[in-house]
Amino acid sequence: MIASDEYDVIVIGGGPIGLSSAYHLSKRRARTLLLEQFTFVNQLGSSAGVSRQFRIPYPEQYMVKLVKQSIHFWDELQSLTSVPLLDTVGTLWFGDPSVHTSEGNIAEAEAALKAEGVSYTSLDRKALEQQYPFRNLPEPYVGLFQAQGASINLQATIETLLASNQNSVHTTMKSNAPVTDIVRTDGKFHVTTPLGVFSAAKLVLTPGPYANSVFHLLGFHIEATYWNMASAFYKVQGPPVKYPTWFVFQQPNGENGNEFYGFPEVSWNYPGYIRVASDFVIKPLDSPEQRTFVPNPRELAFTADWVRQHMTGLNPVPEFTSTCLVALSKIKNKELLIDFAPPSVPGNKDVVLYATGWAGKFVPILGRILSDLALDGRTDFDISNFQTGYKYFKVFDRATGQ
Ligand SMILES: Cc1cc2nc3c(=O)[nH]c(=O)nc-3n(C[C@H](O)[C@H](O)[C@H](O)COP(=O)(O)OP(=O)(O)OC[C@H]3O[C@@H](n4cnc5c(N)ncnc54)[C@H](O)[C@@H]3O)c2cc1C
Protein backbone atom coordinates (compact mmCIF):
# COMPACT_ATOMS: atom_id res chain seq x y z
CA MET A 1 0.00 0.00 0.00
CA ILE A 2 1.18 3.51 -0.84
CA ALA A 3 1.34 6.01 2.06
CA SER A 4 -0.78 9.13 1.54
CA ASP A 5 2.31 11.35 1.43
CA GLU A 6 3.92 9.28 -1.36
CA TYR A 7 3.63 10.26 -5.00
CA ASP A 8 5.01 9.24 -8.37
CA VAL A 9 6.17 12.79 -9.10
CA ILE A 10 6.51 15.95 -7.02
CA VAL A 11 6.45 19.22 -8.98
CA ILE A 12 8.12 22.10 -7.11
CA GLY A 13 6.83 25.54 -8.18
CA GLY A 14 3.17 26.23 -8.94
CA GLY A 15 3.48 28.89 -11.66
CA PRO A 16 2.12 28.19 -15.15
CA ILE A 17 4.97 25.84 -16.11
CA GLY A 18 4.55 23.78 -12.92
CA LEU A 19 0.76 23.73 -13.42
CA SER A 20 1.23 22.66 -17.04
CA SER A 21 3.63 19.90 -15.95
CA ALA A 22 1.10 18.63 -13.40
CA TYR A 23 -1.64 18.75 -16.06
CA HIS A 24 0.37 16.56 -18.44
CA LEU A 25 1.51 14.21 -15.65
CA SER A 26 -2.10 13.75 -14.61
CA LYS A 27 -3.05 12.94 -18.23
CA ARG A 28 -0.55 10.10 -17.93
CA ARG A 29 -2.23 9.11 -14.61
CA ALA A 30 0.91 9.78 -12.60
CA ARG A 31 0.17 10.43 -8.93
CA THR A 32 1.38 14.01 -8.76
CA LEU A 33 1.92 16.51 -5.94
CA LEU A 34 2.33 20.19 -6.88
CA LEU A 35 3.95 22.38 -4.21
CA GLU A 36 3.77 26.20 -4.30
CA GLN A 37 5.52 28.37 -1.73
CA PHE A 38 2.97 31.20 -1.99
CA THR A 39 -0.60 30.99 -3.31
CA PHE A 40 -1.43 29.79 -6.82
CA VAL A 41 -1.90 32.69 -9.28
CA ASN A 42 0.52 34.87 -7.28
CA GLN A 43 2.16 38.09 -8.50
CA LEU A 44 5.55 37.36 -6.95
CA GLY A 45 7.35 35.40 -9.67
CA SER A 46 7.74 35.64 -13.45
CA SER A 47 4.02 35.48 -14.19
CA ALA A 48 3.00 38.80 -12.64
CA GLY A 49 0.56 40.92 -14.63
CA VAL A 50 -1.81 39.44 -17.17
CA SER A 51 -0.66 39.68 -20.81
CA ARG A 52 2.26 38.08 -22.63
CA GLN A 53 3.25 37.91 -26.31
CA PHE A 54 2.92 34.77 -28.39
CA ARG A 55 5.23 35.17 -31.41
CA ILE A 56 6.83 32.93 -33.98
CA PRO A 57 9.75 35.18 -35.08
CA TYR A 58 13.01 34.16 -33.41
CA PRO A 59 16.53 34.44 -34.79
CA GLU A 60 17.13 30.73 -34.20
CA GLN A 61 15.37 28.17 -36.38
CA TYR A 62 15.03 25.74 -33.45
CA MET A 63 13.06 28.37 -31.50
CA VAL A 64 10.74 29.00 -34.47
CA LYS A 65 10.19 25.25 -34.64
CA LEU A 66 9.37 24.98 -30.93
CA VAL A 67 6.82 27.81 -31.12
CA LYS A 68 5.20 26.12 -34.13
CA GLN A 69 5.03 22.85 -32.19
CA SER A 70 3.46 24.67 -29.24
CA ILE A 71 0.38 25.70 -31.26
CA HIS A 72 -1.16 22.23 -30.98
CA PHE A 73 -0.82 22.40 -27.19
CA TRP A 74 -2.42 25.88 -27.07
CA ASP A 75 -5.35 24.43 -29.02
CA GLU A 76 -5.63 21.60 -26.51
CA LEU A 77 -5.63 24.03 -23.57
CA GLN A 78 -8.16 26.25 -25.31
CA SER A 79 -10.52 23.28 -25.61
CA LEU A 80 -10.71 23.22 -21.78
CA THR A 81 -12.15 26.73 -21.40
CA SER A 82 -14.59 29.12 -23.05
CA VAL A 83 -12.33 32.08 -22.14
CA PRO A 84 -10.13 33.02 -25.12
CA LEU A 85 -6.50 32.38 -24.15
CA LEU A 86 -4.97 34.02 -27.25
CA ASP A 87 -6.05 37.19 -29.06
CA THR A 88 -4.51 36.69 -32.50
CA VAL A 89 -3.58 40.15 -33.77
CA GLY A 90 -0.18 39.35 -35.31
CA THR A 91 3.42 40.14 -34.38
CA LEU A 92 5.11 43.25 -35.74
CA TRP A 93 8.91 43.35 -35.36
CA PHE A 94 10.39 46.60 -36.58
CA GLY A 95 13.25 49.01 -36.15
CA ASP A 96 16.88 49.49 -37.09
CA PRO A 97 17.91 46.48 -39.22
CA SER A 98 21.52 46.71 -37.99
CA VAL A 99 20.57 46.20 -34.33
CA HIS A 100 21.29 42.81 -32.73
CA THR A 101 19.74 42.47 -29.29
CA SER A 102 19.03 39.70 -26.80
CA GLU A 103 15.77 39.19 -28.75
CA GLY A 104 17.69 38.84 -32.03
CA ASN A 105 17.72 40.77 -35.27
CA ILE A 106 15.04 41.33 -37.90
CA ALA A 107 16.95 39.81 -40.85
CA GLU A 108 18.00 36.76 -38.80
CA ALA A 109 14.37 36.21 -37.79
CA GLU A 110 13.28 36.45 -41.44
CA ALA A 111 15.86 33.80 -42.38
CA ALA A 112 14.66 31.49 -39.59
CA LEU A 113 11.00 31.99 -40.57
CA LYS A 114 11.85 31.23 -44.21
CA ALA A 115 13.74 28.09 -43.25
CA GLU A 116 10.71 26.87 -41.27
CA GLY A 117 8.25 27.76 -44.03
CA VAL A 118 6.44 30.37 -41.92
CA SER A 119 4.77 33.13 -43.91
CA TYR A 120 5.37 36.80 -43.07
CA THR A 121 5.41 40.16 -44.85
CA SER A 122 8.29 42.63 -44.99
CA LEU A 123 7.70 46.38 -44.61
CA ASP A 124 9.73 49.53 -45.22
CA ARG A 125 9.40 52.64 -43.05
CA LYS A 126 6.64 54.13 -45.20
CA ALA A 127 4.55 50.97 -45.10
CA LEU A 128 5.07 50.69 -41.32
CA GLU A 129 3.61 54.16 -40.77
CA GLN A 130 0.83 53.65 -43.33
CA GLN A 131 -0.36 50.31 -41.95
CA TYR A 132 0.16 50.82 -38.21
CA PRO A 133 -0.41 53.78 -35.88
CA PHE A 134 3.31 54.48 -35.34
CA ARG A 135 4.82 57.80 -36.41
CA ASN A 136 8.16 59.64 -36.72
CA LEU A 137 10.07 56.43 -37.40
CA PRO A 138 13.64 57.01 -38.64
CA GLU A 139 14.37 56.27 -42.32
CA PRO A 140 16.37 53.04 -42.03
CA TYR A 141 13.59 51.34 -40.05
CA VAL A 142 12.13 48.17 -41.58
CA GLY A 143 9.71 45.61 -40.25
CA LEU A 144 8.26 42.14 -40.53
CA PHE A 145 4.69 41.15 -39.77
CA GLN A 146 3.75 37.58 -38.85
CA ALA A 147 0.02 37.02 -38.64
CA GLN A 148 -0.09 34.23 -36.03
CA GLY A 149 1.29 36.42 -33.23
CA ALA A 150 -1.09 36.98 -30.32
CA SER A 151 -1.63 38.50 -26.91
CA ILE A 152 -1.68 35.68 -24.37
CA ASN A 153 -4.16 35.98 -21.52
CA LEU A 154 -1.66 34.46 -19.08
CA GLN A 155 -3.96 34.74 -16.10
CA ALA A 156 -6.74 32.81 -17.88
CA THR A 157 -4.11 30.27 -18.98
CA ILE A 158 -3.02 29.77 -15.36
CA GLU A 159 -6.62 29.56 -14.14
CA THR A 160 -7.49 26.97 -16.82
CA LEU A 161 -4.56 24.77 -15.80
CA LEU A 162 -5.37 25.29 -12.13
CA ALA A 163 -9.00 24.21 -12.61
CA SER A 164 -7.98 21.16 -14.61
CA ASN A 165 -5.53 20.09 -11.89
CA GLN A 166 -8.12 20.73 -9.18
CA ASN A 167 -10.52 18.41 -11.02
CA SER A 168 -7.95 15.67 -11.53
CA VAL A 169 -8.04 12.64 -9.24
CA HIS A 170 -4.33 12.15 -9.96
CA THR A 171 -3.13 15.57 -8.76
CA THR A 172 -2.82 17.03 -5.27
CA MET A 173 -1.95 20.72 -4.93
CA LYS A 174 -0.62 22.48 -1.87
CA SER A 175 -0.12 26.23 -1.55
CA ASN A 176 1.87 27.96 1.20
CA ALA A 177 4.21 25.00 0.95
CA PRO A 178 7.77 26.30 0.44
CA VAL A 179 10.20 23.45 -0.11
CA THR A 180 13.03 23.83 2.39
CA ASP A 181 14.88 20.52 2.12
CA ILE A 182 15.28 17.61 -0.30
CA VAL A 183 16.91 14.34 0.74
CA ARG A 184 17.24 11.14 -1.29
CA THR A 185 17.17 7.70 0.39
CA ASP A 186 16.21 4.27 -0.96
CA GLY A 187 15.65 5.60 -4.47
CA LYS A 188 13.14 8.23 -3.33
CA PHE A 189 13.25 11.98 -2.83
CA HIS A 190 11.89 13.24 0.51
CA VAL A 191 10.74 16.83 0.18
CA THR A 192 10.30 18.94 3.32
CA THR A 193 7.74 21.75 3.63
CA PRO A 194 6.05 23.35 6.67
CA LEU A 195 3.02 21.19 5.75
CA GLY A 196 4.95 17.93 6.07
CA VAL A 197 7.47 15.70 4.30
CA PHE A 198 6.39 14.24 0.96
CA SER A 199 8.12 11.51 -1.06
CA ALA A 200 8.33 10.62 -4.72
CA ALA A 201 10.59 8.72 -7.11
CA LYS A 202 10.76 11.72 -9.48
CA LEU A 203 10.98 15.47 -9.18
CA VAL A 204 10.05 18.21 -11.65
CA LEU A 205 11.58 21.57 -10.68
CA THR A 206 9.76 24.67 -11.99
CA PRO A 207 10.61 27.37 -9.43
CA GLY A 208 10.76 30.31 -11.88
CA PRO A 209 13.11 33.12 -10.83
CA TYR A 210 13.72 31.36 -7.48
CA ALA A 211 15.41 28.47 -9.30
CA ASN A 212 18.66 28.55 -7.37
CA SER A 213 16.95 28.46 -3.99
CA VAL A 214 15.58 25.02 -4.96
CA PHE A 215 18.64 23.85 -6.94
CA HIS A 216 20.85 24.66 -3.92
CA LEU A 217 18.89 22.07 -1.92
CA LEU A 218 20.25 19.48 -4.39
CA GLY A 219 23.79 20.92 -4.37
CA PHE A 220 23.97 22.75 -7.70
CA HIS A 221 23.65 26.27 -9.04
CA ILE A 222 22.89 27.95 -12.36
CA GLU A 223 24.49 31.19 -13.51
CA ALA A 224 21.69 33.70 -14.00
CA THR A 225 21.00 37.40 -13.93
CA TYR A 226 17.69 38.83 -12.72
CA TRP A 227 15.63 41.56 -14.36
CA ASN A 228 13.02 43.37 -12.28
CA MET A 229 11.08 44.64 -15.28
CA ALA A 230 8.91 47.76 -15.29
CA SER A 231 5.59 47.89 -17.11
CA ALA A 232 2.82 50.49 -17.53
CA PHE A 233 -0.46 51.18 -19.27
CA TYR A 234 -1.32 54.19 -21.43
CA LYS A 235 -4.85 55.56 -21.83
CA VAL A 236 -6.37 55.34 -25.29
CA GLN A 237 -7.54 58.80 -26.36
CA GLY A 238 -9.17 60.09 -29.54
CA PRO A 239 -10.32 57.73 -32.29
CA PRO A 240 -9.68 54.00 -31.67
CA VAL A 241 -6.19 52.77 -32.63
CA LYS A 242 -5.39 49.21 -33.69
CA TYR A 243 -1.96 48.00 -32.64
CA PRO A 244 -0.68 44.45 -33.12
CA THR A 245 1.69 42.95 -30.57
CA TRP A 246 5.00 44.61 -31.41
CA PHE A 247 8.68 44.93 -30.56
CA VAL A 248 11.03 47.73 -31.65
CA PHE A 249 14.77 47.20 -32.23
CA GLN A 250 16.85 50.34 -31.67
CA GLN A 251 20.42 51.29 -30.80
CA PRO A 252 20.87 51.74 -27.04
CA ASN A 253 21.40 55.32 -25.95
CA GLY A 254 23.43 55.52 -22.71
CA GLU A 255 21.46 53.89 -19.90
CA ASN A 256 18.38 53.81 -22.15
CA GLY A 257 18.38 50.27 -23.57
CA ASN A 258 15.89 51.67 -26.11
CA GLU A 259 14.01 48.43 -26.75
CA PHE A 260 10.28 48.50 -26.18
CA TYR A 261 7.32 46.22 -26.76
CA GLY A 262 3.59 46.59 -26.62
CA PHE A 263 0.16 45.13 -27.03
CA PRO A 264 -3.19 46.04 -28.53
CA GLU A 265 -5.99 46.99 -26.19
CA VAL A 266 -7.36 43.77 -24.63
CA SER A 267 -10.67 43.29 -22.85
CA TRP A 268 -9.09 41.32 -20.00
CA ASN A 269 -6.46 43.81 -18.84
CA TYR A 270 -7.35 47.45 -18.10
CA PRO A 271 -9.75 47.96 -21.06
CA GLY A 272 -9.40 51.51 -22.42
CA TYR A 273 -5.63 51.27 -21.88
CA ILE A 274 -2.73 49.77 -23.80
CA ARG A 275 0.32 48.14 -22.22
CA VAL A 276 3.77 49.30 -23.36
CA ALA A 277 6.96 48.23 -21.59
CA SER A 278 10.74 48.40 -21.79
CA ASP A 279 12.67 45.25 -22.67
CA PHE A 280 15.77 46.21 -20.71
CA VAL A 281 16.70 47.04 -17.16
CA ILE A 282 19.18 49.75 -16.21
CA LYS A 283 20.57 47.63 -13.38
CA PRO A 284 20.25 43.83 -13.47
CA LEU A 285 20.12 42.11 -10.08
CA ASP A 286 22.39 39.37 -8.73
CA SER A 287 19.63 37.56 -6.85
CA PRO A 288 15.82 37.61 -6.52
CA GLU A 289 16.17 38.90 -2.93
CA GLN A 290 17.36 42.28 -4.30
CA ARG A 291 14.08 42.93 -6.13
CA THR A 292 11.61 45.62 -5.04
CA PHE A 293 8.05 46.11 -6.26
CA VAL A 294 8.79 49.70 -7.29
CA PRO A 295 9.27 50.14 -11.06
CA ASN A 296 12.45 52.00 -11.99
CA PRO A 297 11.22 55.58 -12.72
CA ARG A 298 13.89 56.11 -15.40
CA GLU A 299 12.84 52.96 -17.28
CA LEU A 300 9.22 54.21 -17.13
CA ALA A 301 10.29 57.67 -18.33
CA PHE A 302 12.24 56.27 -21.32
CA THR A 303 9.18 54.21 -22.28
CA ALA A 304 6.76 57.13 -21.88
CA ASP A 305 9.06 59.25 -24.02
CA TRP A 306 9.00 56.63 -26.81
CA VAL A 307 5.20 56.46 -26.59
CA ARG A 308 5.01 60.27 -26.87
CA GLN A 309 7.31 60.38 -29.91
CA HIS A 310 6.18 57.33 -31.85
CA MET A 311 2.69 56.11 -30.89
CA THR A 312 -0.59 57.72 -31.85
CA GLY A 313 -3.88 57.61 -29.96
CA LEU A 314 -2.37 57.29 -26.47
CA ASN A 315 -1.96 59.66 -23.54
CA PRO A 316 1.79 59.27 -22.86
CA VAL A 317 1.44 59.18 -19.07
CA PRO A 318 2.28 55.80 -17.52
CA GLU A 319 -0.49 54.42 -15.30
CA PHE A 320 -1.08 51.13 -13.45
CA THR A 321 2.68 50.59 -13.22
CA SER A 322 4.06 47.27 -12.00
CA THR A 323 7.14 45.04 -11.92
CA CYS A 324 7.79 41.45 -12.88
CA LEU A 325 10.92 39.44 -12.02
CA VAL A 326 12.56 37.16 -14.56
CA ALA A 327 15.75 35.05 -14.39
CA LEU A 328 17.86 35.06 -17.55
CA SER A 329 20.62 32.56 -18.24
CA LYS A 330 24.13 33.93 -18.59
CA ILE A 331 24.81 31.33 -21.29
CA LYS A 332 24.85 33.15 -24.65
CA ASN A 333 21.78 32.43 -26.81
CA LYS A 334 20.48 29.98 -24.23
CA GLU A 335 17.32 31.45 -23.02
CA LEU A 336 15.61 28.28 -21.81
CA LEU A 337 17.31 25.59 -19.74
CA ILE A 338 15.47 22.27 -19.99
CA ASP A 339 17.45 19.40 -18.56
CA PHE A 340 17.99 16.72 -15.99
CA ALA A 341 19.86 17.72 -12.83
CA PRO A 342 23.65 17.48 -13.22
CA PRO A 343 25.39 14.12 -12.57
CA SER A 344 26.65 15.35 -9.18
CA VAL A 345 23.05 14.99 -7.89
CA PRO A 346 22.26 11.44 -6.70
CA GLY A 347 19.49 10.09 -8.96
CA ASN A 348 19.99 13.03 -11.35
CA LYS A 349 18.04 11.39 -14.19
CA ASP A 350 15.00 11.37 -11.90
CA VAL A 351 15.15 15.16 -11.51
CA VAL A 352 13.88 17.25 -14.41
CA LEU A 353 14.08 21.03 -14.46
CA TYR A 354 13.10 24.09 -16.42
CA ALA A 355 14.69 27.48 -15.68
CA THR A 356 15.26 30.95 -17.16
CA GLY A 357 13.99 32.81 -20.21
CA TRP A 358 10.80 34.05 -21.81
CA ALA A 359 8.52 31.04 -21.61
CA GLY A 360 4.97 32.40 -21.51
CA LYS A 361 4.40 31.22 -25.08
CA PHE A 362 5.77 27.77 -24.20
CA VAL A 363 3.59 27.11 -21.12
CA PRO A 364 1.44 24.36 -22.72
CA ILE A 365 4.27 22.53 -24.54
CA LEU A 366 6.83 22.79 -21.74
CA GLY A 367 4.51 20.91 -19.38
CA ARG A 368 4.35 18.11 -21.93
CA ILE A 369 8.14 18.03 -22.42
CA LEU A 370 8.85 18.01 -18.68
CA SER A 371 6.29 15.27 -18.06
CA ASP A 372 7.83 13.18 -20.89
CA LEU A 373 11.29 13.58 -19.36
CA ALA A 374 10.06 12.73 -15.85
CA LEU A 375 8.03 9.65 -16.82
CA ASP A 376 9.99 8.31 -19.82
CA GLY A 377 13.47 9.79 -19.37
CA ARG A 378 13.17 11.20 -22.92
CA THR A 379 10.94 13.27 -25.18
CA ASP A 380 10.18 13.28 -28.90
CA PHE A 381 10.72 17.07 -28.98
CA ASP A 382 14.22 18.27 -29.84
CA ILE A 383 15.48 19.88 -26.64
CA SER A 384 19.17 19.43 -27.43
CA ASN A 385 19.66 23.20 -27.68
CA PHE A 386 18.33 23.67 -24.16
CA GLN A 387 20.25 20.81 -22.51
CA THR A 388 23.23 22.83 -21.46
CA GLY A 389 23.29 21.85 -17.82
CA TYR A 390 26.08 19.32 -17.98
CA LYS A 391 28.49 21.98 -19.14
CA TYR A 392 27.29 24.95 -17.15
CA PHE A 393 25.70 23.92 -13.84
CA LYS A 394 28.04 24.63 -10.90
CA VAL A 395 28.35 22.54 -7.76
CA PHE A 396 26.88 24.33 -4.72
CA ASP A 397 27.96 23.49 -1.17
CA ARG A 398 25.08 24.10 1.24
CA ALA A 399 27.44 24.13 4.23
CA THR A 400 29.53 27.03 2.93
CA GLY A 401 26.84 28.66 0.77
CA GLN A 402 29.27 28.68 -2.19
C1 LIG B 1 7.82 41.61 -17.65
C2 LIG B 1 7.80 40.25 -18.27
C3 LIG B 1 7.38 40.12 -19.58
C4 LIG B 1 7.37 38.87 -20.20
N5 LIG B 1 6.93 38.78 -21.47
C6 LIG B 1 6.87 37.59 -22.08
C7 LIG B 1 6.33 37.49 -23.39
O8 LIG B 1 5.90 38.48 -23.97
N9 LIG B 1 6.30 36.26 -23.97
C10 LIG B 1 6.75 35.14 -23.33
O11 LIG B 1 6.71 34.06 -23.95
N12 LIG B 1 7.24 35.20 -22.07
C13 LIG B 1 7.29 36.39 -21.43
N14 LIG B 1 7.76 36.48 -20.15
C15 LIG B 1 8.19 35.25 -19.47
C16 LIG B 1 7.03 34.46 -18.89
O17 LIG B 1 6.12 35.31 -18.25
C18 LIG B 1 7.62 33.46 -17.89
O19 LIG B 1 8.61 32.68 -18.55
C20 LIG B 1 6.57 32.52 -17.30
O21 LIG B 1 5.46 33.24 -16.80
C22 LIG B 1 7.27 31.75 -16.20
O23 LIG B 1 6.42 30.83 -15.57
P24 LIG B 1 7.05 29.86 -14.46
O25 LIG B 1 5.99 28.93 -14.05
O26 LIG B 1 8.35 29.32 -14.94
O27 LIG B 1 7.50 30.85 -13.29
P28 LIG B 1 6.67 31.57 -12.05
O29 LIG B 1 5.39 32.04 -12.57
O30 LIG B 1 7.63 32.48 -11.45
O31 LIG B 1 6.36 30.34 -11.13
C32 LIG B 1 7.34 29.73 -10.33
C33 LIG B 1 6.67 29.39 -9.02
O34 LIG B 1 7.55 28.57 -8.23
C35 LIG B 1 7.33 28.90 -6.90
N36 LIG B 1 8.46 28.46 -6.07
C37 LIG B 1 9.74 28.92 -6.16
N38 LIG B 1 10.50 28.34 -5.20
C39 LIG B 1 9.70 27.49 -4.52
C40 LIG B 1 9.91 26.62 -3.42
N41 LIG B 1 11.09 26.51 -2.79
N42 LIG B 1 8.87 25.88 -2.96
C43 LIG B 1 7.64 25.98 -3.57
N44 LIG B 1 7.38 26.82 -4.61
C45 LIG B 1 8.40 27.56 -5.07
C46 LIG B 1 7.19 30.42 -6.94
O47 LIG B 1 6.57 30.94 -5.78
C48 LIG B 1 6.38 30.64 -8.20
O49 LIG B 1 4.99 30.74 -7.94
C50 LIG B 1 7.80 37.72 -19.49
C51 LIG B 1 8.22 37.85 -18.16
C52 LIG B 1 8.22 39.09 -17.55
C53 LIG B 1 8.67 39.19 -16.12
The answer to whether 246 is a known catalytic residue is: no
Question: Looking at ligand 1, which atom is closest to the CA of residue 227?
Answer: 53
**154-178: pLDDT as tens digits:** 999 999 999 999 999 999 999 999 9
Question: Looking at ligand 1, which atom is closest to the CA of residue 42?
Answer: 49
Residue extent(s) of CATH 3.30.9.10 domains in the chain: 51-152+225-329
The answer to whether 132 is a known catalytic residue is: no
**270-286: pLDDT as tens digits:** 999 999 999 999 999 99
Model-level pTM? 0.97
| Bridge pairing between strands 273-278 and 260-262 | antiparallel
Catalytic residue among 103, 265, 299, 350: 103
**The Cα angle at residue 74 between residues 162 and 45, in degrees rounded to 5:** 50
The answer to whether 181 is a known catalytic residue is: no
To the question of domain 5-46+155-223+334-392 being in CATH 3.40.50.1980, the answer is no
**362-393: pLDDT as tens digits:** 999 999 999 999 999 999 999 999 987 666 78
Residue 71: CB atoms within 10 A of its CB come to 16
**348-369: pLDDT as tens digits:** 999 999 999 999 999 999 999 9
Catalytic residue among 141, 361, 368, 372: 361
Q: What is the DSSP letter of 295?
A: P
The answer to whether 332 is a known catalytic residue is: no
Residue extent(s) of CATH 3.50.50.60 domains in the chain: 5-46+155-223+334-392
SS3 160: helix
**Distance of CA 310 from the midpoint of ligand 1 (Å):** 30
Which of 287, 251, 271 is CA-nearest to residue 141? 251
How far, CA to CA in Å, does 342 sit from each of 72, 148, 347?
A: 31, 37, 9
How far, CA to CA in Å, does 114 sit from each of 89, 118, 120, 144?
A: 21, 6, 9, 12
Measured on CA atoms in the order 174, 336, 361, 315, is the torsion positive or negative? positive
- Determine whether the shortest distance from the Cβ of 53 to ligand 1 is under 6 A: yes
Which of 307, 364, 11, 351 is CA-nearest to residue 160? 364
Q: Tell me the C-alpha distance between 116 and 120, whole Å.
A: 11
To the question of domain 51-152+225-329 being in CATH 3.30.9.10, the answer is yes
The answer to whether 298 is a known catalytic residue is: no
**Distance of CA 185 from the midpoint of ligand 1 (Å):** 31
Q: What is the DSSP letter of 351?
A: E
**108-151: pLDDT as tens digits:** 999 999 999 999 999 999 999 999 999 999 999 999 999 999 99
Backbone phi, psi, residue 87, to 5°: -110, 105
